């Protein structure tokens, strides 16, 4: 049996399958049954490694459902494997990395405790909204970028006179890096968010 197993969350099944082939690991599928009240019952299909498991699960909408499923997968993996690495292509709640208004909960701080408590040894995210939120995780973390892969993809399209646009100032540096690969111009819009209502204006 392989010393590695890749556990697929429902939100990232194809990615997990491709990853398991790439690194020659055991592929472990998650079978999910949803009860009438919305609860998820998860069963893992496949052999878990005693040494190292990699859980792959995006935390995009429905965010809370995918989050609880991710934590459940990590907990089960830790029962069998001495090391659990979690790959999160999209990290929900990354915008909530500080207290903007008095009384607000910094949800990334909560997630840091939850992932460690569930048994995660390391978290890998992709182009997270704000790397500041990873400071709340008292385990190893790594933010990787998909820009090189996006560059390869868009070069094949041979677009005429494209313009690289960042939807806000936070993404300006990513837009700059991407545009540099094509020797293109780029712009960054200004996003204004109402801290009470959450309404966003772009200008």
Note the pLDDT tens digit of each residue in 116-166. Answer: 999 999 999 999 999 999 999 999 999 999 999 999 999 999 999 899 999
Assess whether 191 carries a catalytic annotation: yes
Encode pLDDT of 70-80 as tens digits: 999 999 999 99
Q: What is the mean pLDDT of residues 9-24?
A: 97
pLDDT at 1: 58
Domain at 4-144, CATH class: alpha beta
* Residue-level pLDDT at 170: 86
Fold match between domain 4-144 and domain 148-202: yes
Classify domain 148-202 by CATH number. 3.40.50.2020
pLDDT at 2: 75
pTM listed for this prediction: 0.90
* Partners of residue 52 on adjacent β-strands: 4, 83
For the stretch 61-97, pLDDT in tens is 999 999 999 999 999 999 999 999 999 999 999 999 9
- Among candidate residues 191, 196, 201, 203, the one labeled active-site is 191
Residue boundaries of the structural domains of the chain: 4-144, 148-202
pLDDT at 104: 95
d(CA 195, CA 173): 24
27 pLDDT higher than 80 = yes
Residue 54 CA to residue 70 CA, distance in Å, equals 11
**Residue-wise DSSP of 183-203:** T--EEE--EEE-TTT--EEE-
């Amino acid at each position: 049996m392989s010393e590695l197993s890749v556990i697929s969350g429902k939100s990232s099944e194809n990615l997990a399958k491709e990853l398991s082939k790439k690194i020659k690991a055991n592929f472990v599928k998650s079978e999910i049954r949803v009860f009438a009240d919305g609860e998820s019952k998860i069963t893992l299909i496949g052999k878990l490694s005693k040494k190292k498991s990699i859980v792959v699960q995006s935390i995009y909408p429905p965010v809370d459902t995918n989050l609880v499923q991710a934590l459940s997968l990590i907990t089960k993996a830790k029962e069998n494997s001495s090391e659990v690495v979690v790959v999160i292509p999209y990290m929900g709640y990354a915008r909530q990395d500080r207290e903007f208004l008095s009384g607000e909960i910094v949800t990334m701080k909560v997630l840091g405790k939850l992932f460690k408590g569930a048994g995660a040894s390391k978290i890998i995210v992709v182009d997270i909204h704000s790397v500041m939120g990873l400071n709340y995780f008292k385990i190893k973390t790594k933010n990787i970028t998909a820009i090189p892969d996006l560059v390869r993809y868009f070069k094949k399209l041979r677009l005429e006179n494209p313009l690289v646009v960042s939807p806000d100032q936070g993404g300006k540096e990513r837009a700059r890096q991407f545009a540099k690969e094509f020797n293109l111009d780029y712009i960054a819009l200004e996003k204004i968010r109402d801290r009470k209502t959450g309404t966003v204006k772009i200008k």
